[in-house]
Structure 1
C-alpha cells in the first residue's frame, strides 16, 4: 500500500447493521480502528447538556461529525498498516442529504480531499439484528434510507461499494480481510 488512502478502509451503512461489532472484531484482531462519530458525539453532548444532538440541531451535529471524522483521519496517518474506520468523511454528506439539509461547500471539499481506499465496505440493512437504544433512536425505515443515501454519496465520489454479507461477525471479519487483501 503506497499511501494513506490505500490503507484506510471505511465500513459504512445504516444504523443497526453490525458495523461497530465488526470494527470491534477488527480491533481485537490487532488492526487499528476508529470510533464511530455519531455515538461518541451523542454521548459527549448528552453528558454536558450540549445542543449538537440529531434530535435537537442536525446541522450542528453534522459539523461535529465532520470534525470528528477529520480528526480520526489525521490521527490515523501515524498508524502503521491498515486502518478501519467506523464511517468516514462522506457519511457526513450522506447525513446532511438524508436530513434534507444543504451540503456546505466545506463538507463537499472534505469528502473530495480526505480519501479512503477505493473499495468501501457497506453493511446492508439487517432487520434481524436492528435494535434501537438510547443513542440509536432511528427506526428501521430511517436505517434503510440512511443506507441508500450512503450508497448514493459513496458512488458519486467514485468509491466501489463492497456489500457485507448478512452473516455472523466471524464470517464478516474473514470476508473483509480477504476483500482488503490482508490475508
Structure 2
C-alpha cells in the first residue's frame, strides 16, 4: 500500500492534537500542526495575533508550510500518514473571516489531494482558550461549519468522528480506515 494521507481536522479545541499524539503513541506516522509555530514566531516579532492583524500573510505561511508537509510524504513510503489539519483548512478559515485570498490558494488545495478527511465536531466540555487559541466556543462551532463546507467544496467525503475518550476516537478512525484501504 502506498502512503495514504489522512487529515484530522476540526474547529479549535475539538481534540485534534490529543488524537494525533495518541495515534503517534500507537506507532502511526503523524505530521503535526504548524499554526502555533507561526503564531509564536509572529509574537516574537511583536505581532500578538498575526491571523487577526494580517490574515492573508498568516494564511500564506500556513499554506506554504502545509504544502511542504504534504510534499514531504513520499509516495513510495508505505502505510498511513496522519496530518493535524490540511491545506483546505487555510481557505476554510479565510472564508470564515470573510477574507479574499489569491486563486492559487484554492488551486493548491484542489491539486494536492489527501486520501481521507476526518472531522472532529465541537466539544464544549474539553474546549479551552489559551494564548494561541483566541476563539470563543461559539466561534469554534462556526469554524467547524466552515471546515465541513470547505472540504466538501473540494469534493472530499468528510467523516465526522464522534466525541468520546481518545482511545474510542482512535479506534473509530482505525476501523474506518480498515474498511477503506
**In which range does the TM-score fall when normalised by the shorter chain?**
over 0.9
Task: Check conservation: 1:94, 1:153, Cα contact below 8 A.
Answer: yes
Could you state the TM-score of these two structures normalised by the residue count of structure 2? 0.92
Identify which range, 9-18 or 32-41, moves more after superposition: 32-41
Within 5 Å, which residues of 2 pair with 1:32-47? Answer: 32-47=29-44
How many residue pairs were aligned? 179
Structure 1 match to 2:147: 150
Quick one: which of 150, 155, 171 aligns to 2:168?
171
Q: 1:110 to 1:52 in 2, by over 3 A?
A: farther
Quick one: which of 11, 24, 28 aligns to 2:25?
28
Q: 1:76 to 1:52 in 2, by over 3 A?
A: farther
Distance 1:140 1:55 in 2: 17
Q: Which runs of 5+ in 1 are unaligned?
A: none
Within 5 Å, which residues of 2 pair with 1:55-74? Answer: 55-74=52-71
C-alpha offsets along residues 5-53 of structure 1, whole Å, 9 cap, x if unaligned? xx00001110000001000111111111111122121122223435871
Quick one: which of 93, 96, 116 aligns to 2:94?
96
CA RMSD of superposed structures (Å): 1.8
Distance 1:134 1:61 in 2: 16
Deviation at 1:132, TM superposition (A): 0.2
Q: Which runs of 5+ in 2 are unaligned?
A: none
Distance 1:31 1:110 in 2: 26
Distance 1:51 1:110 in 2: 28
Task: Check conservation: 1:11, 1:86, Cα contact below 8 A.
Answer: yes
Deviation at 1:157, TM superposition (A): 1.0
Task: Check conservation: 1:52, 1:60, Cα contact below 8 A.
Answer: no
Could you state the TM-score of these two structures normalised by the residue count of structure 1? 0.91
**Residue 177 of structure 2 corresponds to residue 180 of structure 1:** yes
Within 5 Å, which residues of 2 pair with 1:2-151? Answer: 2=2, 4=3, 7-49=4-46, 53-77=50-74, 79-117=77-115, 119-151=116-148
Distance 2:143 2:101 in 1: 16
